[in-house]
Amino acid sequence: MTPANGDPMGWVKPTPGGAAHTVRPATGTRLDPWIGSYADRTHGMRASEIRALFAVANRPEVVSLAGGMPNLEGLPLRTLAELSHELVLSRGTTALQYGSGQGDQTLREQILDVMRLEGIEAHPDDVVVTTGSQQALDLVTRLFINPGDVIVAEAPSYVGALGVFRAYEADVVHVPLDEAGLIPEALEEVLTRLDHEGRAVKLLYTVPNFHNPAGVTLSLERRPRVLEIARRHGVLVVEDNPYGLLGFENEPLPAMRSMDDSGVIYLGSFSKTFAPGYRVGWAVAPHSIREKLVLASESAILCPSNASQLAVSTYLANHDWRGQIKAYREMYRERRDAMIGALTEHMPEASWTVPDGGFYTWVKLPHGIDAQAMLPRAITALVAYVSGTAFYADGQGANHMRLSFCYPTPDRIREGVRRLAGVVAAETELLEIFGAGTDAHREADAVEGAGPDVH
C-alpha cells in the first residue's frame, strides 16, 4: 500500500524540522535503489554459471552432469539418526551452545587421524575448524589479499574459489595444467614474469587431487618441485583438498602439506567423504597464520556450529568412517566408468581426462564448438553440464565443459552422455553448414591451452 506521503518505497523520511528529504541514493535504479551504495568489491560479485543453472538442471527430467553434489544414498542414515538422538539427549546443552572459535578440541584431534591418511603430521592446535572449506577459502583470502594482489591458480580452477577471489578484488593469473597436474615449468615462468612486473603475488591456489574441474592429479614427482618454486618466489601455497581420499585405484598421495609445514595452508572437508550438510571443513596453517585465521573466523561467525561438529565427531568415533569412504570410492568409480564408457561410445570426436578419483571429467569439444552457447540447446535436450568458461577468471574455456559423474546413477549418466552427444552432433553439423563465423565460435577457436585434454 502506498503510504500517505505518496512514496511507495518508503524512501522519503521526514526531517526533525518537518520537511521531508529523500534518502534514495542518487544513482539507484528501480530494481535496486541501493546500487550506488555498494562497496566497489560488491560489483564484482555475480551468480556463478552453476548457480544460474541449478533451477533448470534439477528438474527430474533433466540428467544433470552439472552439479558437484555428492551422492549420499550409501550413508547409514539410521545410525546417524540414532547418534544424533543420543547426542542431544546426553550432550545437548553443549551441542546447542556456542563453542570455541577454533573448533571443538576432540574433533580437531580426530581430524589429525583423517589427515594422517595423506601423510600429514600436525598438532590439534594447528587445526581451525570452519563452516566447510569454502569458509576457509574466504578467511585465507581475507587475510592476505589487498585489491589488485595476484593469486596464481590453475587453468582451469574451482569456480567457488574464483568467486571468493573476485569478491576480495584479487587478480587471478592462471597457470596451465596437463594430465599430471600443475606444470612446474609454467609456474616458474609465470612467477618470474610477475616478479619482473613488480606484482604482489600472494597465493598459489591449487587443488592437487582429482581436480575440480579438470579431474587430474598433481604427480608425486611434481609436488616438491611446485613447493620449491613457490618458496623461492615467496608465495604461500593454498592446498585445497576435499577429494584426496576418494581415489579409485591407489592409496592417497602424500599431501603437499606433509612435505612443507611452513609454506602451505591446507584445506580439508567432510563434505565429500561424509556429508556436506553439516558444513564442517578445516584449515591447517603455520602457527602465526593460524592465530589470524581464528580471529578472522570469530569476527565472521563467532564459532563454527557446535551441533554440526559434535555430530561429525560422534560419527567418526562410532562408525567405520574408513569403510564409508571405501564404499564411496567404489560407487564413484562405477560412475566414472559409466561416464568414460559412454563418452568413448558416443562422443569419439571429443577428448577428455580420465580421473583416478573425485567427481569430474574435463571434456574438450570438437573444434569450434562453444560450450556456453550450446548450453540452452543441451537443456532443451534434457541434459546439463557446466561450460568451461565458469572455471576461468579471464574468459578462457569456451571449447570445454565439465561433466560430473558423482550424483546420477550409471544408467542416467549413460543416458545423459547419449543426449549430450546428440546435441554436439547437431552443433557440429550446423558448424559444417554455416562455418565458424559467429563471434562465439571465433572466441572458442582462439583459446589455446585451456587445460588438459587427454583420452
- Compare residues 202 and 211 and give the one whose CB is closer to ligand PLP: 211
Lateral strand order in the sheet of 360-364? 351-352, 360-364, 400-404, 386-387
Give least dist CB 161 to ligand PLP, A.
Answer: 6
Question: Cell digits for 157?
Answer: 580452477
- Compare residues 99 and 132 and give the one whose CB is closer to ligand PLP: 132
Q: Which listed range, 71-79, 115-123, 130-138, 405-413, lies at the site for ligand PLP (CB under 6 A)?
A: 130-138
DSSP 421-432: HHHHHHHHHHHH
Residue 271 in the binding site for ligand PLP (CB under 6 A)? yes
d(CA 379, CA 363) in angstroms, rounded, equals 17
Size of the site for ligand PLP (CB under 6 A): 14
Give least dist CB 241 to ligand PLP, A.
Answer: 8
Question: Cell digits for 404?
Answer: 560430473
Residue 207 in the binding site for ligand PLP (CB under 6 A)? yes
Give least dist CB 278 to ligand PLP, A.
Answer: 9
Q: Which listed range, 19-27, 57-65, 109-117, 129-137, lies at the site for ligand PLP (CB under 6 A)?
A: 129-137
C-beta of residue 45 within 8 angstroms of C-beta of residue 163: yes
Quick one: which of 64, 110, 133, 308 contacts ligand PLP (CB under 6 A)? 133
Lateral strand order in the sheet of 171-178? 127-131, 280-284, 264-269, 236-240, 201-206, 150-155, 171-178, 181-182
Residue 361 in the binding site for ligand PLP (CB under 6 A)? no
Q: Which listed range, 75-83, 268-276, 339-347, 387-395, lies at the site for ligand PLP (CB under 6 A)?
A: 268-276
**221-250: which residues touch ligand PLP (CB under 6 A)?**
240, 242
- 228: three-class secondary structure by DSSP: helix
Give least dist CB 360 to ligand PLP, A.
Answer: 9
Give least dist CB 6 to ligand PLP, A.
Answer: 47
C-alpha to C-alpha distances, 305 to 86, 91, 97, nearest whole angstrom: 18, 14, 9
Closest by CA position to 401, among listed 380, 424, 431: 424
> Residue 445: which residues within 8 A CB-CB, separation 6 or more?
367, 368, 399, 436
C-beta of residue 110 within 8 angstroms of C-beta of residue 268: no
Quick one: which of 101, 276, 355, 357 contacts ligand PLP (CB under 6 A)? 276
Give least dist CB 407 to ligand PLP, A.
Answer: 12
d(CA 359, CA 265) in angstroms, rounded, equals 23
Quick one: which of 281, 357, 397, 416 contacts ligand PLP (CB under 6 A)? 281
DSSP 19-68: -EEE-S-TT--SS-TTTTTS-HHHHT----HHHHHHHHHTSTTSEE-S--
Residue 215 in the binding site for ligand PLP (CB under 6 A)? no
Give least dist CB 47 to ligand PLP, A.
Answer: 16
Residue 269 in the binding site for ligand PLP (CB under 6 A)? yes
C-beta of residue 156 within 8 angstroms of C-beta of residue 450: yes
- Compare residues 271 and 308 and give the one whose CB is closer to ligand PLP: 271
Q: Which listed range, 172-180, 215-223, 269-277, 347-355, lies at the site for ligand PLP (CB under 6 A)?
A: 269-277
* Residue 292 burial (10 A CB sphere; 0-12, 13-18, 19+): middle
Residue 157 in the binding site for ligand PLP (CB under 6 A)? no
Give least dist CB 212 to ligand PLP, A.
Answer: 4
- Compare residues 210 and 352 and give the one whose CB is closer to ligand PLP: 210
Burial 395-411 (b: 16+ CB within 10 A, else e): ebbbbbbbbbbbbbebe
- Compare residues 276 and 416 and give the one whose CB is closer to ligand PLP: 276
Q: Which listed range, 128-136, 256-264, 365-373, 428-436, lies at the site for ligand PLP (CB under 6 A)?
A: 128-136
Give least dist CB 221 to ligand PLP, A.
Answer: 22
Which of the 8 DSSP states describes residue 247? B
**68-87: which residues touch ligand PLP (CB under 6 A)?**
68
Which residue number places its CB atom closest to ligand PLP?
132
Residue 357 in the binding site for ligand PLP (CB under 6 A)? no
> Which residue bears the cell 584431534?
109
Residue 213 in the binding site for ligand PLP (CB under 6 A)? no
Residue 160 in the binding site for ligand PLP (CB under 6 A)? yes
Residue 132 in the binding site for ligand PLP (CB under 6 A)? yes
d(CA 438, CA 157) in angstroms, rounded, equals 27
d(CA 159, CA 167) in angstroms, rounded, equals 12
Residue 304 in the binding site for ligand PLP (CB under 6 A)? no
Q: Which residues bind ligand PLP (CB under 6 A)?
A: 68, 132-134, 158, 160, 207, 212, 240, 242, 269, 271, 276, 281
